[in-house]
Amino acid sequence: MTDGPPPGDALATIQRNIQWNRLIAVVEEQAQIMIRTAFSTTVREAGDLSAGIFDLQGRMLAQAVTGTPGHVNSMAESVGHFLAKFPAHGMKPGDHYITNDPWLGTGHLHDLTVVTPAFRNGRIVGLFANTAHVIDVGGLGMGPEGRSVFEEGLYIPIVKCFDGGVANETFFDILRAGTRTPAELEGDVYSLCACNDAGVRRLVEMLDEFGIDSLDPLASYIFDSSLRATLVEIAKLPRGEFSGQIRSDGYESPVTLKARMTIGAEDITVDFAGTSALSGRGINVPAAYCRAYSCFGIKVVVAPEVPNNWASLLPFRMKIPEGCILNAPRPYPVSVRHIVGQLLPDLMMGCLHQAVPDRVAAEGSSCLWNPPLRGGGQVSGAEAELPDFEVITFNSGGTGARREQDGLDGTAFPSGVRTMPVEATENVAPVIFWKKELRPDSGGPGRTRGGFGQIMEIGTKGDAEFAINAIFDRVANPPHGRDGGGDGAAGWVGYTDGSTIRTKGFQVVPKGKRLRLLLPGGGGMGSPAERDPDLLARDVADGLVSEAAARDLYGSRR
């Protein structure tokens, strides 16, 4: 067999594009199988995952459309670490390799990354990888309380979980013993391996259909095309240095993220000098996660139409000083690295706003509001009124306003995960969501307004005692508007009686109390006085903007 027509032939270009799109379809099916077979609600309901195909050098060729930037762009680096320990020439069909090492994977112990070789006619032709966020890996659970990564849960180095199709029972014994949810965690590992196997089958079918023996020519075409397209977009930008900063509530004290972006002829470099120092708690960010979300924040503005792969990310370069919160070394705690890391796209847009103001959005709620809840004997001891449970639910505030459109309500950006249906969470744990609705007046005012946050009230069956591992941000530092737009509403965390609790850390909710969460709204864009009166009237009629806000913030005379 050959690898098709000569590369210079027009037919070859058409075929390569068809094959490229086929690869994307293959990895999207890989991701969808994971969603359909996963045990954890974080995967099957929220889509907190990534999937992709890699060449034998560990370079990502294509990623699934489904998934989060933090996962996929971190995973793009992680496959190289797998190959360093288990070279491709030593792999065999049916092997599956796994890790949750935050510095070799995607930033914290709750993410499992699995790599699987693809063979055709006895010859290795590529690698499939995926990542998924699981409910529990033991330790203190998903929260900021740990003082080192060793307190945060079960630490899995890069090992084989399947050898030639045979389960590594020693590995699975350790896995089950190290978690509060053994059936779910073991089931998730099988799901991750199964979806990679499905990707392998589809890839072999594709290679057979097109009559090609190797992915190398297609990889070269993908990388060359993606790099050229990205460089063309960079060349359209004004050159120079642009600076920005953003504040996080932090844990012990507020955190400041600073960036100096240099746009050159063929690259964009970001220097994070001046960013706050490392924290003693689990809000620290491993460097790979910093690069993942920073690259995403740049790419969605500069080259959003170029498919995401190794080459399209190549021109974006990061300088992350040692000792800053964005470059956590082992064994610093990193369990909730998303609290800080998901602010990075807003920081990148703050820099790019000075270069291409028409392309960026206002700041949004950004960080997920995903409270881990726990109950039963592990919280209340012998007095427990509920069976043991461990669950997490994903929710989001509003996104920032766009130049020509309002922000999105209750939508996760930049993570892209789906909001979990309350019914799915209530089905797996004895919790009750008494209220979940949009939060009026939370969207920042502007010519285009920010998206609305949410109001949530959560309790348990019988209003029994339970615990929350609070991991909330944007409470002391609400999302800012741009170009005269107003700030989004700050978040709030407390009980339905009006009393507040800490925004971060493990806390017991007493019997008879219910949590009340007010999720932040997105910032506005442009002067509120320029808002279309019909759009403002619609928001007032829908109960999303009060008459007082319409009058005081927008100048309405209705």
Q: Which tens digit of pLDDT belongs to each residue from 18-36? A: 999 999 999 999 999 999 9
Is pLDDT at 285 greater than 60 in this prediction? yes
463, pLDDT greater than 70: yes
**pLDDT category, 1, cuts 50, 70, 90?**
very low
Mean pLDDT of 464-478: 98
pLDDT above 90: residue 223: yes
- Local confidence band at 12 (pLDDT 50, 70, 90 cut-offs): confident
pLDDT bracket for residue 67 (50, 70, 90): confident
Dig out the tokens for 496 from the structure. Answer: 């339905």
Q: What does the mean pLDDT of the chain come to?
A: 96
- Residue whose tokens read 């995403």: 296
Tell whether the model's pLDDT for residue 282 goes beyond 70: yes
Residue with tokens 């790099």: 227
Residue 357 CB contacts under 8 Å (≥ 6 apart), including other chains = 482, 483
Find the mean pLDDT for residues 383-388: 95
CA distances from 33 to 23, 40, 41, 423, 487 (A): 15, 14, 14, 22, 40
Are residues 99 and 157 in contact, defined by beta-carbon separation less than 8 angstroms?
Answer: yes
Record the tokens describing residue 287, joined without a space. 């460097």
The reported pLDDT for the residue numbered 6 is 53
Quote the pLDDT of residue 363. 98
Q: Measured between alpha carbons, how far is 455 from 342 in angstroms, rounded to an integer? A: 21
**pLDDT exceeds cutoff 60 at 2:** no
**Treating both helix axes as pointing N-terminal to C-terminal, what angle do 216-235 and 287-302 enclose, rounded to 10 degrees?**
70
Q: How much is the average pLDDT of 335-354?
A: 98
Give the bridge partners for 162, in sequence order: 96, 167
Report residue 46 as tokens. Answer: 């929220």
CA distance readout (Å), 12 to 210, 217, 513: 11, 11, 66
User: Mean pLDDT throughout 332-337?
Assistant: 98
Please give the average per-residue pLDDT across 471-491, as a whole number. 98
Q: Which residues contact 271 (CB under 8 A, 6 or more apart)?
A: 259, 260, 261, 262, 319
What are residue 431's DSSP bridge partners?
460
**Class of residue 498 by CB neighbours under 10 A (exposed 0-12, middle 13-18, buried 19+):** exposed
Instruction: Label residue 558 by pLDDT band (50, 70, 90).
Output: low
| pLDDT of the residue at 11 | 83
pLDDT tens per residue, range 107-157: 999 999 999 999 999 999 999 999 999 999 999 999 999 999 999 999 999
6 three-class SS: coil
pLDDT for 260 equals 98
Rounded mean pLDDT of 232-260?
A: 98
pLDDT of amino acid 8: 57
The whole-angstrom separation of Cα 376 and Cα 391 is 12
By the 8 A CB rule, do 430 and 460 touch?
yes
State mean pLDDT over 378-385.
Answer: 95
Class of residue 133 by CB neighbours under 10 A (exposed 0-12, middle 13-18, buried 19+): buried
